[in-house]
């Protein structure tokens, strides 16, 4: 069933846990994520990347994934991820996205504020949520390459940024990256502690693929309330495709292959959701 972005965040904030957000490129991935959420009885966010939405048929994909969420027993919100184009943000909101990430992390501070504030107005009209990013989380969302961290979030800037934009959630850069980590991940725990204390808005951590469960649990305990994962889901999906293709070709059993893809994604998501409970 569809759930409001801010309601899911508030629920996890009360529980001192983190909301899992998982990028979906088709219905098989979405089915796997929703099945995992239903099994763990938690809400989730179904992310749609900027490039996937901007590509031909992206509008149909968003509508289809939203329909899957609406019919699932799991509580779910569909979010357009990492977009700096207000036209794309507006289109996603018109199609029923429950949240958008207005990503101005490559812009100047003032330009980032302007982008998020404008997205906030569009989202308010649609009853949707807004996530922003300050400091830049390096790497690509759709293609995994070895990446080094860069552009850590400044504490004082974060405080001013949240006050100026009215964002519901702030993605921070503390040594995390999108895609694959070029070296052993080294998260700046002191910086995360300072950000959590200084900023009234909940924090999110992108680049969960490649982080140890212990690091995810520690991040949750330190105040992170949403965690994004993508690369590990794609790895599982494509490995299941490779492993099952020969068998599926015998009889052209497409549904069998789809089931394997969804099941592989579900297993990864369930493991992530368990880590996002924090240390309890």
pLDDT for residue 209: 77
In a domain, 271, yes or no: yes
Q: What is the pLDDT of residue 177?
A: 74
Would you say residue 135 lies in a domain?
yes
pLDDT above 60 for 38: yes
- Long-range contacts of residues 196-200, Cβ cutoff 8 Å, at least 24 apart: 196/222, 196/223, 198/155, 198/156, 198/158, 198/159, 199/158, 199/159, 199/162, 199/170, 200/162
Residue 130 has pLDDT above 60, yes or no: yes
> Per-residue pLDDT for 141 more than 60?
no
Span 122-142, mean pLDDT? 82
d(CA 101, CA 105): 11
Specify which residues 20 forms β-bridges with: 44, 227
Active-site residue flag, 250: no
Q: Are strands 19-23 and 44-49 parallel, antiparallel or unpaired?
A: parallel
> Residue 178 — pLDDT band, cuts 50, 70, 90?
low
Which residue is catalytic, options 41, 59, 81, 243? 81
Residue predicted with more confidence, 188 or 75? 75
| Structure confidence at residue 18 (pLDDT) | 97
Is 83 inside a domain boundary? yes
Confidence of residue 40 (pLDDT cuts 50, 70, 90): very high
CB atoms within 10 A of CB 120: 20
Whether 247 maps to a domain, the answer reads: no
Q: Mapping DSSP to helix (H, G, I), strand (E, B) and coil, where does residue 141 land?
A: coil
Give the percent of the chain with pLDDT over 90.
78
- Give the model confidence (pLDDT) of 219-266 as tens digits: 999 999 999 999 899 999 999 999 999 888 888 888 999 999 999 999
Instruction: State the distance between the two ends of the chain, measured CA to CA, in whole angstroms.
Output: 27
Q: What is the mean pLDDT of residues 19-37?
A: 97
Structural domain total, the chain: 1
100 found inside a domain: yes
- Mean pLDDT computed over 177-195: 78
Instruction: Report if residue 237 sits inside a domain.
Output: no
Q: Is the pLDDT of residue 277 over 50?
A: yes
In a domain, 66, yes or no: yes
Residue 170 has pLDDT above 90, yes or no: yes
Predicted structure pTM score? 0.92
CB 191 within 8 A of CB 223: no
CATH number for position 169: 3.20.20.70
Tell how far CA 104 is from the center of its chain: 16
Give the pLDDT band (50/70/90) at residue 278. confident
pLDDT score, position 182:
57
Structural domain harbouring 71? 5-231+264-275
Q: Considering the domain boundaries, does residue 240 fall inside one?
A: no
For residue range 92-128, what is the model confidence (pLDDT) as tens digits? 999 999 999 999 988 999 999 999 999 999 999 999 9
Beta strands in 115-270 (DSSP E): 129-134, 146-147, 169-172, 180-181, 203-205, 224-229
Mean pLDDT estimate for the chain: 90
């Amino acid at each position: 069933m569809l759930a409001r972005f801010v309601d899911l965040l508030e629920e996890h904030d009360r529980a001192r846990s983190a909301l899992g957000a998982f990028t979906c490129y088709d219905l098989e991935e979405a089915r796997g994520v929703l099945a995992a959420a239903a099994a763990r009885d938690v809400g989730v966010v179904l992310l749609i990347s900027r490039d996937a939405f901007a590509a031909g048929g992206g509008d149909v994909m968003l509508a289809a994934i939203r329909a899957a969420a609406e019919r699932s027993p799991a509580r779910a919100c569909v979010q357009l991820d990492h977009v700096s184009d207000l036209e794309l943000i507006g289109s996603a909101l018109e199609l029923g996205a429950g949240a958008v990430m207005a990503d101005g992390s490559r812009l100047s501070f003032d330009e980032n504020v302007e982008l998020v504030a404008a997205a906030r107005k569009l989202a308010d009209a649609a009853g949707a949520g807004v996530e922003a990013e300050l400091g830049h989380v390096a790497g690509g969302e759709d293609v995994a390459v070895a990446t080094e961290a860069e552009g850590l979030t400044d504490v004082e800037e974060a405080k001013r940024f949240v006050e100026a934009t009215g964002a519901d959630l702030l993605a921070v850069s503390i040594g995390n990256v999108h895609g694959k980590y070029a070296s052993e991940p080294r998260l700046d725990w002191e910086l995360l502690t300072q950000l959590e204390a200084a900023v009234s808005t909940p924090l999110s951590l992108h680049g969960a693929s490649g982080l140890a469960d212990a690091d995810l649990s520690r991040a949750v305990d330190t105040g992170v309330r949403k965690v994004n994962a993508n690369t590990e889901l794609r790895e599982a999906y494509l490995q299941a495709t490779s492993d099952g293709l020969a068998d599926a070709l015998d009889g052209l059993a497409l549904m069998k292959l789809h089931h394997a893809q969804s099941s592989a994604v579900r297993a990864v998501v369930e493991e992530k959701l368990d880590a996002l409970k924090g240390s309890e």
